[in-house]
Amino acid sequence: MSALSKLLLLAGFAAHAMAITIPVKVGEVGLTFEPNEIRAHKDDVIEFRFYALNHSVVAGNFDEACTPAEEGGFFSGFNFPTARTNPPTANPLVFRVTVTNTHPLPIYCSQNNGQHCKNGMVAVINPSGQRRSLAAYRSLLANAGNATSPLQGVFGGVIAQREDDGSASYSASTTTATATATVTTSAVLNQTVTTTTTTTTTSSTTAATVTQTGAAATSTTAAPASGAGRLAGVPLAGMLLAAAAAVVFV
């Protein structure tokens, strides 16, 4: 191996070693992602931490709000029902997505009981310029209908047990919403999850693609063409309980 090849190999190892985990709070304060502008580098891991009551995260597109990315992307499913507490506490499960590029990508919550996406529960990974910004995506919400959840269930990321290892160092910023989000306050037991589904095509070549690691693939419904959601260190009993609770906590 030439000296140049060794140098490039070492540089690659160094870049990978510098990858960080970026925590994103989902629904801790009303219908919000915190931060709602996420700066991530290739190989960084975005870890979504879910709060009350029942949220999801979907990779979207800048052409139509509250609809999934046409290719690639990711979807957490409704696997994180969480009781409301004071102070707020996160679900013990998280959804981790490994970043494969730095292209701008909007994300949203597809919970339609309360129209979370339409009411501002959106964020942007690596916003860039005016056309690919959080403000640009929010401008589409006025014409948005019900949010769409991908038909194939969980894909593009890993569901795992949360590791309470302190705060991580990351680069992110938050932009204040121009409208106040509406939070549903009806009795929990009288609510059900409402989602609209559509079929999407996955690809490993688009801006929204992700790299997965962990155990064998498992999906909540029909298996996707590629990038199935995976469960890392999650007890089966816990997942069954989460699935049962998904129709209660919204």
Considering the chain, what is the average pLDDT of its residues? 73
Between 174 and 23, the higher pLDDT residue: 23
CATH 2.60.40.420 fits 18-245, yes or no: yes
pLDDT at 19: 92
Structure tokens at 149: 């959840």
pTM over 0.85: no
Q: Going by DSSP bridges, is the β-strand pair 122-125/37-39 parallel, antiparallel, or unpaired?
A: parallel
Interval 123-136 mean pLDDT:
97
pLDDT mean over 229-236: 43
For the stretch 172-218, pLDDT in tens is 334 433 332 333 323 333 333 343 444 333 333 333 323 233 323 33
Query: How sure is the predictor about 4, in pLDDT bands with cuts at 50, 70 and 90?
Result: low
Distance CA 248, CA 250 (A): 6
pLDDT given at position 238: 41
What whole-number distance in Å separates Cα of residue 112 and Cα of residue 211? 28
Which strand ranges, in their side-by-side order, compose the sheet holding 122-125?
58-59, 105-108, 122-125, 37-39, 171-173
Question: What's the pLDDT tens digit per position in 80-126?
Answer: 999 999 999 999 999 999 999 999 999 999 999 999 999 999 999 99
Residues with Cβ within 8 Å of residue 207, at least 6 apart in sequence:
72, 101, 103, 104, 105
pLDDT for residue 20 is more than 60: yes
Q: How far is CA 76 from CA 36, 83, 137, 167, 190, in A?
A: 17, 18, 20, 22, 24
Q: 176-202 burial by CB neighbour count: b if 16+ within 10 A, else e?
A: ebeeebeeeeeebeebebebeeeebeb
**pLDDT of 38-52, one tens digit each?**
999 999 999 999 999
Q: Does the pLDDT at position 17 exceed 90?
A: no
Domain positions in the chain are 18-245
